[in-house]
Chain A
Amino acid sequence: MVQENVESRSANDVTFDSLWCVFEHRSGRLVHALEDVSFTVPAGQFVAVVGRSGHGKSTMLRVLAGLQPPTMGTAAIDGVPVLAPSAERSMVFQQDTVFPWMDVRDNIEFPLKALGMPKNERLAISDRTLEQVGLTDFADSWPRELSGGMRKRVALASVMAAGSNVWLMDEPFGSLDYFTRRNLHELLLEIWRETHKTIFFVTHDIEEALILADRLMLVRDGKLVHDMPVDLPRPRDEDVRASPEAVSITKAILDELGIEDDSSEIDTSEADS
């Protein structure tokens, strides 16, 4: 197990090297979405990126996906700079991105078709993936016939079928109810244990981060303010999350993300809307 990890580590390290991402706001003001962010994530690690809305978490993922070019610095996988989107780094979005004009199987086979894979090979992969996400009986269903949680499974299955080594998940379960979310956490962890992909999981839910991640990155005002391991035993059930270690991590997060000036945050958001 350890051996395997070391091997894959050398293959697919994800690095950010003094990366900046600056946007011009409509008002002409410059917004620093990311400010001098550097890190190295070894292959197979499950990273939770935690922070408040609008503080640069999503930008970090979009840069990694190749959807957002950085203003300065580089993002690289195994030393190769990220320049454009690729199946090597697939993304699960917060919004529903399952293509509504394709049935479930066609959605899952989409990345394989994009590769030009022959039909029988596609079928083998989609069959296996459907089983892994528990949607075998829904292969011929239209997305509109599925619940929100099931559609997330389809999105996850598409990323699995694409064969990406780095999964970028941008608050993927944010819109789901608590129980559906917990089921999907279980599913995601199970798949991760089997495949050992590198996962970047953006969330503002501290509990979700503690259930899932090996490592926490706290982002505030575009800066990586804290980067810490989550040394909690798995599975991270209620007892583990109530342990003194877990509570101290939660405290650290709350301190770092500045709960105390929350009122000013609410004021500005109300003024905006």
Chain B
Amino acid sequence: MNRLQRIVLRVWQAARDHPIAVITWVIILVGWEVAAHIVPESTIEQAPLVPSWEYVFNDSLKALSGGWTHDFWAPVPQTGGESTYLGAFLALADHTQATVVRLGVGLFFGVTTGVATGLAVSYFAWLRMMAWAPLNLLRMFPLLAAIPLFQFWLGGTLKGTTVFIGFGVWVLLVVATINSVSNVPDRYIESARTLGASRFHTYRSIVIPAAIPELRTGLLLSAGLSWSLAVGAEYIGATNGLGNILSVAEFTTNTGRMMIIAVMISVASLSSFFILNSLFNRLVRWMPKAPASVRLNRVTTTARSLGGAPNE
């Protein structure tokens, strides 16, 4: 059996095992196509309100190759080259890569500094008293509305977008870390203290590891949030990235392209969710295995949280 046959067999088995999922997908895809044909025609030429699949894959997708500017691997339409699917995928990958870099850097610094700040605030009572009011204010801060402010301060560069993403993630993780620490069962702390551990030793080797499992939700939320923030920041001020080509698509009312980008963002966001989740699972491999019902519940909760970030 060759590779292709194996893949086909796998897909067929998955479809057979999950008939309801297959039916759902068929309804969505067919329903979309039906909608494309029954909605009134748009007043703007070349911009259907609901683009049909044929329009999406032929016109919109191929036209994306216009964004490919390197003179290797695929022809460059800007200098008279042909529009190709390869060029379209390369352009899409190029912009995705730009967004992923911003997001990765911002997410990394946001998570590390956020957790560090949360741990410090939890440990020092004076810091807690100092930080309480500003933190609660920041939690409610409309992040997307602050994009112009960040751009004004730092420019629409890599620095500007990463600092912005990092800031949003930082706020989320500080609050999540403080909550996780306060949820550590007293009995672990008391047991450690009567075994002779100092307050600092108890914090370092008991409170922090005990708080980690609770950080999962905050961490996965931050993955979803960082995508919203990255795309939002690029949408307003960046010369590349998925958010940037989305704003271009809006400018040309290219509905098909908007759809392609939206799907791309969803796929990327979902991947980052699974990557973070599996990294996290390795970190907490000592945890008792949750029963299947709890696990399922956890996945649906986090999947839901991915859909809409709280600061939007």
Q: Is the CB of B196 within 8 A of A86?
A: yes
Q: In the complex, which of the residues A89, A95, A99, A142 has the most CB atoms of chain B within 10 Å of its own CB atom? A: A99
- Beta-carbon contacts of A44-88 to B below 8 Å, as 1s and 0s? 000000000000000000000111000000000000000001111
6 contacts between A and B (CB under 8 A): A65-B194, A67-B193, A67-B194, A99-B206, A114-B192, A159-B195
> Which of chain A's residues has its CB closest to B208's CB?
A101
Given A86-B196, A114-B197, A114-B198, A101:B286 Cβ within 8 A: yes
Q: Is the CB of B188 within 8 A of A99?
A: yes
Residues of B bordering A, CB below 8 Å: 185, 187-188, 190-198, 201, 205-206, 209-210, 212, 284, 286-289
Given A97-B191, A142-B286, A111:B196 Cβ within 8 A: yes
CB distance from A114 to the nearest CB of B (A): 4
Q: Which residues of A contact B287 (CB under 8 A)?
A: 100-101, 144
A100 to B286 Cα, complex, angstroms: 7
Given A100-B287, A113-B205, A89:B210 Cβ within 8 A: no
> Which of chain B's residues has its CB closest to A61's CB?
B194
A-B pairs with beta carbons under 8 A, tally: 76
- Beta-carbon contacts of A101-144 to B below 8 Å, as 1s and 0s? 11000000011011100000000000000000000000000111
A158 to B206 Cα, complex, angstroms: 15
Q: Which residues of A contact B210 (CB under 8 A)?
A: 99, 101
Partner of B195, one of A100, A110, A143, A144: A110
Q: Is the CB of A162 within 8 A of B286?
A: no
> Which of chain A's residues has its CB closest to B206's CB?
A99
Q: Which residues of B contact A91 (CB under 8 A)?
A: 190-191, 194
Given A110-B205, A142-B286, A93:B195 Cβ within 8 A: no
Q: Is the CB of A110 within 8 A of B286?
A: no
- Please, how many residues of chain A have a CB less than 8 angstroms from a CB on the other chain? 30
Q: Is the CB of B196 within 8 A of A162?
A: yes
Partner of A85, one of B194, B201, B286: B194
Given A100-B288, A142-B286, A144-B288, A110:B192 Cβ within 8 A: yes
A95 to B187 Cα, complex, angstroms: 8
A67 to B284 Cα, complex, angstroms: 30
A142 to B288 Cα, complex, angstroms: 9
Given contacts A93-B190, A142-B286, A144-B289, 9 further A-B contacts (CB under 8 A): A91-B191, A100-B287, A101-B287, A102-B286, A111-B197, A114-B195, A114-B197, A114-B201, A162-B196
A165 to B276 Cα, complex, angstroms: 47
Q: Which residues of B contact A99 (CB under 8 A)?
A: 188, 192, 206, 209-210
A268 to B193 Cα, complex, angstroms: 35
A143 to B206 Cα, complex, angstroms: 15
